[in-house]
Structure 1
Amino acid sequence: MIQLLFMVVMAEMAGILILLFKTPLRKLLIMTLDRVKRGKAPIIVKSVAATVFVIMMYTIYTIRDIQSRPIDALNPTDHVLLANHMLEASLMGFSLFLSLMIDRLHHYIRELRLLRKTMEAAKKQNRGFEDGKNGGDEVKARGEEISGMEAKIRKLESEREAKEKEVKAAEANSVALKNQSEGFLLEYDRLLEENQNLRNQLQSIDQSLSHSDGKKNT
């Protein structure tokens, strides 16, 4: 019994040392404890712990019973039994205490891991929010740039429309000048034709006058 308790205590102390330092064995032990705490295993562990506690209390009762006897009534066997029971009770109590320490360490390590994951998720979310904010600023800047470009485009379109109006007005003026020049040319042709007609009439009158004068002279 004492050898078994010594082995249990040594194993529990080794487990505590493994949990205290970050090593590959720590991860393996944590995974083992996670599996132990699933299903019916916690009930079995609690039953074993309760049994050990009951045995420890019975051993303490036996120790108290032996110590309550008169010293003269104790024989060497009683002294050996007293020492044996005291050692067993101490080992069982120490074993239960170490078991509780392992359970609490495992619980705190798991909570710490969850807290770290939560903090990492919060940091990622914060980074995403900051990136989104920076992206929003960039989008805002892009929007302002697009608005400025649209204003420039509207200004250029208005200038283009004004130029088109000027071109149309110039074309209209050129058409009017062309029509006017064509009218002048037609009028000039008409005047030339009238002038030619007048000349022809004058020539015919001169010829008729000269012909009549010739007849008078004869």
Structure 2
Amino acid sequence: MIPLLFLVLFAEGAMAFLLMVEIGPLRELAMRALDQLKTGKGPATMKTLACTMAVIFLSSLTSIIKIQNRGAKLGTVTPMDQVLWRTHLLETSLTGYALFLGLVIDRLHHCLGKLVDLRSSEREMEKLRKELGALKVNDSGEAASLGEILKKMKAQSDGLEKRASAAEAHVASLQKQLEELLLEYDRLLEDNQNLQRQTLAFKN
């Protein structure tokens, strides 16, 4: 189980790295892979996997608490209980990190998707501006028609700017969520270190 969790963590870490750092076409490939995972039966499969890992996390955490309680009652911890305690602690840590990284990857994918939509909207707006400029040059004699076209283009531009502003606000919100997740990750690391120190103190 532990080698499998290490493999999952490695894969999730690689995916998060590809999403955060643009290396040639690798980010686009990672985005496409995640898009495929979120279509068809992918979401149901990922939710089932996440629920399974959450159950494993809670089971390992419960086992840790039981071993600690048993040691407290007996006044000592047997070598077998020490091995089991460390194994469950490692499983709990790896499972927690895997769930956390999965959440980070999902948020990064969502945020990058919004950024792609925003850039696409900006390109459309620039194209409309160029078309408007060409119309002004080519059809200078049709002022009334150009006025209507200008109003239409301005309405489209306003709509695109509103979408861009909404997307920027959403990106800022996602960045704030990511910062909160990173703070939670640091807290989990600190809790893990505290648990390890408690283990050493308990062992001694």
How many residue pairs end up in the alignment? 140
Determine if the alignment matches structure 1 residue 98 to structure 2 residue 77: no
Residues 1-218 of structure 1 mapped to structure 2, 5 A cutoff = 1-22=1-22, 23-69=24-70, 70=72, 72-136=75-139, 138-139=140-141
Mark the runs of 5 or more structure 1 residues left unpaired by the alignment.
142-218
Mark the runs of 5 or more structure 2 residues left unpaired by the alignment.
144-204
Partner of 2:154: none
Q: Within 2, Cα distance between the matches of 1:135 and 1:54? A: 68
State the one-letter code of the partner of 2:100. Answer: F
CA deviation map 1:117-175 (0-9, x unaligned): 01110111122223333445x3269xxxxxxxxxxxxxxxxxxxxxxxxxxxxxxxxxx
Partner of 2:183: none
Identity of matched residues, %: 39
Q: Within 2, Cα distance between the matches of 1:126 and 1:64? A: 65
Q: Within 2, Cα distance between the matches of 1:128 and 1:68? A: 74
CA pair 130-54 structure 1, distance change in 2 beyond 3 A: same
CA deviation map 1:4-33 (0-9, x unaligned): 111110111111111112222222221111
Misfit runs of 4+, over 4 Å = none
Bigger CA radius of gyration = 1
- TM-score (ref. length: structure 2): 0.64
Q: Within 1, Cα distance between the matches of 2:32 and 2:53? A: 25
Q: Within 2, Cα distance between the matches of 1:140 and 1:6? A: 69
Give the secondary structure class of the aligned counterpart of 1:139: coil
The RMSD of aligned alpha carbons is 1.7
- TM-score (ref. length: structure 1): 0.60
CA pair 133-97 structure 1, distance change in 2 beyond 3 A: same
